[in-house]
Amino acid sequence: MDLCAAPLVKLNPPAEGKILLHACCAPCSSAILECMVQNGLKPTVFFSNSNITPRDEYEIRKAELIRYCESLGLEWVDDDYDHEEWLRQVGRGREAEPERGSRCAACFRFRLARAAAYASLYGFAVLTTTLASSRWKNLDQVNEAGEKACRELGPGAQVTWWPMNWRKGGLQPRRGELIRELGFYNQTFCGCEFSHPASE
């Protein structure tokens, strides 16, 4: 794909080394990945979203993200899908929580802990996430989950959380442009059964 002539935002990762970007979907990743590539960064994209159900929805979102990664020449990783474990650790007992409530905070912790573990295992220096791009998500919850995930890796682990606010610097409107230009499947709910419009 053709990139914009210049990056919308000058990016300064908090540490030198490989970057792992936890990604929830192609729409949320679109402007972020474009901006990273324009800045000379080549993140590996980590799709870890056991919250998404049904499985068909998960596969559609994954396929769209892979399509975009391949158009940019970026590597991607598909984490193991385990919705039952997600329900056990996150969903059960929090079914009635509203968006931005304790269920969302636990969901961020679940997914970013898996991302941090992968980053540590495979020598990534920096972890960040596209979850911070959505105006429907609580940025403080996302950053608290990411910082906790990196902090709790244990002795010797050196993964730095990058608390970038991916909503600023023109990235939000650019996201909308890319969704239209590239014809992304643009989902109408965050992924879990408790956020589906039919459950409200």
- Asked if the structure places residue 116 within a domain, the reply is yes
- Which range of residues forms the domain containing residue 54? 19-199
- Asked if the structure places residue 1 within a domain, the reply is no
- Asked if the structure places residue 54 within a domain, the reply is yes
Q: What is the pTM of this model?
A: 0.93
Q: How far is CA 99 from CA 46, 120, 155, 178, 193, in A?
A: 24, 30, 34, 26, 12
Give me the tens of pLDDT residue by residue for the chain, a chain 200 residues long.
555 556 789 999 999 999 999 999 999 999 999 999 999 999 999 999 999 999 999 999 999 999 999 999 999 999 999 999 999 999 999 999 988 899 999 999 999 999 999 999 999 999 999 997 877 789 999 999 999 999 999 878 899 999 999 999 899 999 999 999 998 987 777 888 988 766 54
- Residue 121, domain CATH: 3.40.50.620
- The per-residue pLDDT for 29 is 95
Give the number of domains in the chain.
Answer: 1
- The per-residue pLDDT for 189 is 75
- Asked if the structure places residue 13 within a domain, the reply is no
- Asked if the structure places residue 2 within a domain, the reply is no
- Asked if the structure places residue 4 within a domain, the reply is no
